[in-house]
Structure 1
Amino acid sequence: MINKEIAKILYEMSILLEMKEVGFKPRAYEKAADSIESLAEDIGNIYKHGGLKALEDIPGVGPSIGEKIEEYIKTKQVKEYKKLKKEIPVDIEGLVSVEGIGPKTILRLYKKLGIKTRDQLEKAAAAGKLVKGGFGKKTQDNILKGISFLKKEHGRYLLGEIMPIAETILEKIRALPEVQSAEFGGSLRRMKETVGDLDFIAFSDKPAEVVEKFLKFSEVKSIYSKGRHKALVRLSIDIDADIWVLDPKSTGAALIGWTGDKQHNIALRTLAEKKGWMLNDYGLWRGKTLLASKTEEEVYKKLGMDWIPPELRENKGEIEAALEGKLPQLIGYDDIKGDLQVQTDWTDGRNSIEEMAKAAKELGHEYILITDHTKSLAMTGGSDEKRLVEQMAEIDKINLKFKNQNSKFKVLKGSEVNIMPDGTLDIDDETLAKLDIVGAAVHSKFNMSEKDMTARIKRAMENPNVDIIFHPTGRLIQKREAYKVDMDDLLKTAKRTKTVMEIDAFPDRLDLKDEYIRKAVEMGVKLSIDTDAHVLVHLQYLKYGIGQARRGWAEKKDIINTRSWQEMLKLLK
């Protein structure tokens, strides 16, 4: 798939055009990049079967951008992009990955200090040159902190970034006539928030043929090694992947061995050894006698355990719970009935309320909550009280349209209200009381002390209008660390005030993290799973939030939006 290559070019063009202060175009290119990056189908195939017109059917892609995509598909280059890069020859991808670095800062760094790369930026900041060049000491320190954080995260990829291509490859493996079944392995199957590489396990009586066909997939960039049963390759999206092709008779044992983390697998094998048995990727054995191997359920049962969902296989109490028959009935991937964080073009979203609603309805949702930003977040064009009231009237009109179409779909009125440094909100209580659901979030002053940040969020929870705390720790995976909070104290306050804690499903957030979700579940705090969608394709991110919830041992009853909107509202303040 060349989707990622094209999306990167369009995204970088948006940044370059913004540097040149070109009106409107930067947002258009960014919107197109978002759409293309989220496509499940190879854009090359879309063009092959439908030409330029099919490209223009992709959300956000008009004639001009469509022609540039066509140009890249045909020539592997975009002339306008090359021209822009020649004018401003900077490593955009490397620089914007640093927290706080945007188009204007990149241009200023280049013009004042000649900085083109992240390495040059780090050296300049470490030498104090940014301050000498007119940047503040705090900015310089934050840049060094951001670069240090990126180094720690190097070599791993966001789950939501990798999953679309991984799913495409898995379906191609499953479609091979020689393959009886195939599955992901490792951290991908466990739905870890980041993955280091991709593992595919296929089951076939003709392993060599499967390996050879895998090596011819268009996604394979280069081959490190290959054998009769396995191969290790580099994919076109610059991540390593391996495939193992095993005897179908060992499906269950192999999937267990390839899915659990090291500690889970050691614990299972130790349990088998205590019984005088041996567990490996080919089966559970007593001497040379095969006891179980065909299915995961069969192997776990023989060990005296319930089947353990893949997301839990990290030796964090799941083995003991399985032995005692006390595993949770995890929330299912089809259990969510509505999305409770959706932004629109009223602020920093790309689509209208009606467009987002129709897209959600097509996905099978029963409702969405519109949660545009509020006035103190000026960069998003946040709404004030007057504009919120106007938006409520617009939502009433859209709901009436659905009703006249005999549809039961519901658009709920909400907002993502900003929690100010002192814990107050930037919208008055009279206006908030008119909304169906109020979400509140921290968007500034991330460097407060743990004590002050905890007090800030707790004060917001005490507001009778605040129903949900959105992305409660503020982290951006691989870009920004979570701000410091006393999570135990927050969860106690959430329980007492009936405040819901969000599991933000956006791939670079997945906030709350799994360990906090488990604490919330144990304490009886209600949770929501929301996409934080800003464009139509983001509505498909729910599965990542559900995976995160499952990793946190959450059940359907723990998540408020597994209910109808009428029943869900009864759970709130």
Structure 2
Amino acid sequence: MPVHNADLAAIFEEIADLLEIQGANPFRIRAYRNGARILGDLPHEVRLLVEQGEDLTRLPGIGVDLAGKINEIISTGRCSILERLHRELPPHISELLKIPGLGPKRVRVLYHDLDVQTIEQLRRAAKDGRIRSIPGFGEKTELNILRAVEAHANQSRRIKLAVAAQYAESICVFLRSIPGVQQVAVAGSFRRMRETVGDLDILVIASSGSRVMQSFTGYDEIATVYSVGDTRASVLLKCGLQVDLRVVGQHCYGAALHYFTGSREHGIAIRRIAQQRGLKVNEYGVYHGFRRVAGDSEESVYQAVGLAYIPPELREDRGEIEAARAGRLPHLVELSDLRGDLHAHTTASDGHDSLHDMALAAKEIGLEYLAITEHSRRLAVAHGLDSLQLARQCDEIDRLNEQLCGITLLKGIEVDILEDGGLDLPDSVLARLDIVIGAVHSGFDLPRAKQTKRILCAMDHPNFTLLAHPCGRLIERRAPYDVDMLSIIRHAGKRGCFLELNAHPERLDLLDIHCQMAKEEGVLVSINSDAHSVFDFHNLRYGVGQARRGWLEKKDVLNTRSLTDIRSLLRRTMSV
């Protein structure tokens, strides 16, 4: 069975979690967490490096010990340290970590103080009022835990888009290798670039007589075959992801791709329009009575019902049909439109690669400029910079820019927004920078009015340029903080500053609906990687997908501008 980077990252995260529950050495725990992040962010499969005999210690942050664990997992499918930890701890204790708001430290306290080992025991402890008695928890925390447990019970399993991509791309490579297969496409929420994916819908065009289903159901990563026929199969992968495969003919490929891409609401709306025209739309085509009038391409399906082609990312029944009917569909931003990245970290704070290496990696993917924005001093866990350290880095950037060709580094900082709305570094230091990114890294549970006032106050700072990851969410790990986003967007418009769309797959923040709001208010959005290594720039594609879901065009995105134009815009913001 192929071992994907997501599998390796998940194993290292689980090891770190279990070690933290045990109370192990913090440096050992951090090594596994860093390893998980590095593996999760790599754009190429580590197993291929192992098969080629590459030295894994050449990967940033991967030492001899972690390299040995990776080789063990890939070669045997097992991890001895994880198996040992499972023997030493209760069998279901890691399930508690799936409850939002419960990290390993809290799980450790609950386990040691209340002997809570399962989600059901956690629910009972919360209902009985026993959690509030633990120092550091309290009645409010207990109520939040109970609500999170109940929400978890009603939640269907979904995985992050970037993780789903690893499995989808591997399956597609496998399917294309089957004799007779002519075309493979992934439909569903994956094609619509939803931030999480519940299952994978895959369509295949194959020549008559090809053994697609027989080959597919023998795929190494399949745990269970739910059903299989001549043209359809439904399976469960060992990672827990369901995959539905359909073999379709070329003549109905467009109709099938449209039907299985969804969304459900969009499909219903299209079928309603078709009915008004005396037509019927299904997965096999568009019909007038018994006569088939369209379906070989998606364009033909939309044309048959009197609409322009609607990109998959817009198909959520949120105004796209009306826009298509009126000829007002946006020309959505493309990855190739990005000319720079305005949020990146190096080894000076919590990044994994040097200033020079980050610059070369950005140049290699075609970027013209890269803003280096380390964390500020208050975020000690990320080795944030103080005024003197930041000044030294600015000097280093100036020296490096004299040597670089084809890429320009901009001087910046990701400065903490304090609870009173102040910034974490003095004006005299911030004024020297090209860009100042303000970010909330603490106080996530402030009341809505106070959180909103805090951010608005920070945006009024004369050196403030860009609001980083504006909702503060981590997908499936931390909910967005409660804030009046419309007020923030409108204030950004009045102030003349910008909003970030953080492309990291765990963030994808701005939300798509907030991208639309920013577009309507004329506020430019910067699609940034928040890169912490040379491998992270590939995450920009997920940010572009989120921007497209938010109806953003090239003109709506700040970092589609040239270096000259971006410098002019940044100077104008910081001179307000």
TM-score by length of structure 1 reads 0.92
Q: Give secondary structure in 2 for the equivalent of 1:463.
A: coil
Answer with 323-332 or 103-112: which moved more: 103-112
Q: Give secondary structure in 2 for the equivalent of 1:342.
A: coil
1:368 aligns with 2:370: yes
Alpha-carbon offset, residue 128 of structure 1 = 2.8
AA aligned to 1:385 is S
Map of 2:37 onto structure 1: 34
Map of 1:60 onto structure 2: 61
Answer with 14-23 or 547-556: which moved more: 14-23
Query: Superposition pairs for residues 370-519 of structure 1, below 5 Å?
Result: 370-402=372-404, 407-519=405-517
Q: Give secondary structure in 2 for the equivalent of 1:481.
A: coil
Number of aligned positions between the proteins: 567
Alpha-carbon distance in 2 for matches of 1:160, 1:293: 30
Answer with 79-88 or 60-69: which moved more: 79-88
Map of 2:325 onto structure 1: 323
Task: Note closer, same or farther for the CA distance 1:120–1:531 as it changes in structure 2 (3 Å cut).
Answer: farther
Alpha-carbon offset, residue 414 of structure 1 = 1.0
Q: Give secondary structure in 1 for the equivalent of 2:530.
A: coil
1:310 aligns with 2:323: no
Alpha-carbon offset, residue 350 of structure 1 = 2.8
Would the aligned equivalents of 1:12 and 1:92 in 2 still touch at CA under 8 Å? Answer: no
Alpha-carbon distance in 2 for matches of 1:62, 1:167: 28
Map of 1:13 onto structure 2: 15
1:346-390 CA distances to partner (integer Å, 9 max, x unpaired)? 223333333322322222222221222212223323222222112
Would the aligned equivalents of 1:205 and 1:248 in 2 still touch at CA under 8 Å? Answer: no
Would the aligned equivalents of 2:101 and 2:478 in 1 still touch at CA under 8 Å? Answer: no
Alpha-carbon distance in 2 for matches of 1:43, 1:375: 34
Q: Give secondary structure in 1 for the equivalent of 2:374.
A: coil
AA aligned to 1:107 is R
AA aligned to 2:528 is D
Q: Give secondary structure in 1 for the equivalent of 2:201.
A: strand
Would the aligned equivalents of 1:149 and 1:480 in 2 still touch at CA under 8 Å? Answer: no
1:79-134 CA distances to partner (integer Å, 9 max, x unpaired)? 33333444444756434444444444333333333333444333323323233343
Q: Give secondary structure in 2 for the equivalent of 1:413.
A: strand
Alpha-carbon offset, residue 34 of structure 1 = 2.4
Task: Note closer, same or farther for the CA distance 1:31–1:136 as it changes in structure 2 (3 Å cut).
Answer: closer
1:150-209 CA distances to partner (integer Å, 9 max, x unpaired)? 445441221122122212212332343322222111111111111111110112233762
Alpha-carbon offset, residue 148 of structure 1 = 4.4
1:173 aligns with 2:156: no
Would the aligned equivalents of 1:283 and 1:291 in 2 still touch at CA under 8 Å? Answer: yes
Would the aligned equivalents of 2:60 and 2:353 in 1 still touch at CA under 8 Å? Answer: no
1:394-429 CA distances to partner (integer Å, 9 max, x unpaired)? 222332332xxxx12112111111111221111111
AA aligned to 1:423 is G
Alpha-carbon offset, residue 243 of structure 1 = 0.6
Alpha-carbon distance in 2 for matches of 1:379, 1:43: 28
Task: Note closer, same or farther for the CA distance 1:23–1:236 as it changes in structure 2 (3 Å cut).
Answer: same
Query: Superposition pairs for residues 66-105 of structure 1, below 5 Å?
Result: 66-89=67-90, 93-105=94-106
Structure 2's unaligned 5+ residue stretches are none
Map of 1:545 onto structure 2: 543
Alpha-carbon offset, residue 17 of structure 1 = 4.6
Alpha-carbon offset, residue 318 of structure 1 = 1.1
Query: Superposition pairs for residues 256-275 of structure 1, below 5 Å?
Result: 256-275=258-277
- Structural RMSD (CA): 2.3
Alpha-carbon offset, residue 269 of structure 1 = 1.5
Q: Give secondary structure in 2 for the equivalent of 1:438.
A: strand
Would the aligned equivalents of 2:529 and 2:539 in 1 still touch at CA under 8 Å? Answer: yes
Task: Note closer, same or farther for the CA distance 1:165–1:67 as it changes in structure 2 (3 Å cut).
Answer: same
Map of 1:108 onto structure 2: 109
Task: Note closer, same or farther for the CA distance 1:436–1:350 as it changes in structure 2 (3 Å cut).
Answer: same
Alpha-carbon offset, residue 560 of structure 1 = 0.7
Alpha-carbon offset, residue 27 of structure 1 = 2.8
Task: Note closer, same or farther for the CA distance 1:256–1:84 as it changes in structure 2 (3 Å cut).
Answer: closer
AA aligned to 1:26 is I
Answer with 324-333 or 473-482: which moved more: 473-482
Would the aligned equivalents of 1:40 and 1:164 in 2 still touch at CA under 8 Å? Answer: no
Answer with 53-62 or 415-424: which moved more: 53-62
Alpha-carbon distance in 2 for matches of 1:452, 1:433: 27
Aligned counterpart in structure 2 of residue 188 of structure 1, from 184, 190, 196: 190
Alpha-carbon offset, residue 43 of structure 1 = 4.0
Aligned counterpart in structure 2 of residue 243 of structure 1, from 231, 242, 245: 245
1:250-274 CA distances to partner (integer Å, 9 max, x unpaired)? 1111111111212211221222222
AA aligned to 1:166 is A
Alpha-carbon distance in 1 for matches of 2:119, 2:400: 47
Answer with 442-451 or 312-321: which moved more: 442-451
Q: Give secondary structure in 2 for the equivalent of 1:343.
A: coil
Q: Give secondary structure in 1 for the equivalent of 2:412.
A: strand
Would the aligned equivalents of 1:504 and 1:532 in 2 still touch at CA under 8 Å? Answer: yes
AA aligned to 2:176 is R
Map of 1:123 onto structure 2: 124
Alpha-carbon offset, residue 20 of structure 1 = 4.4
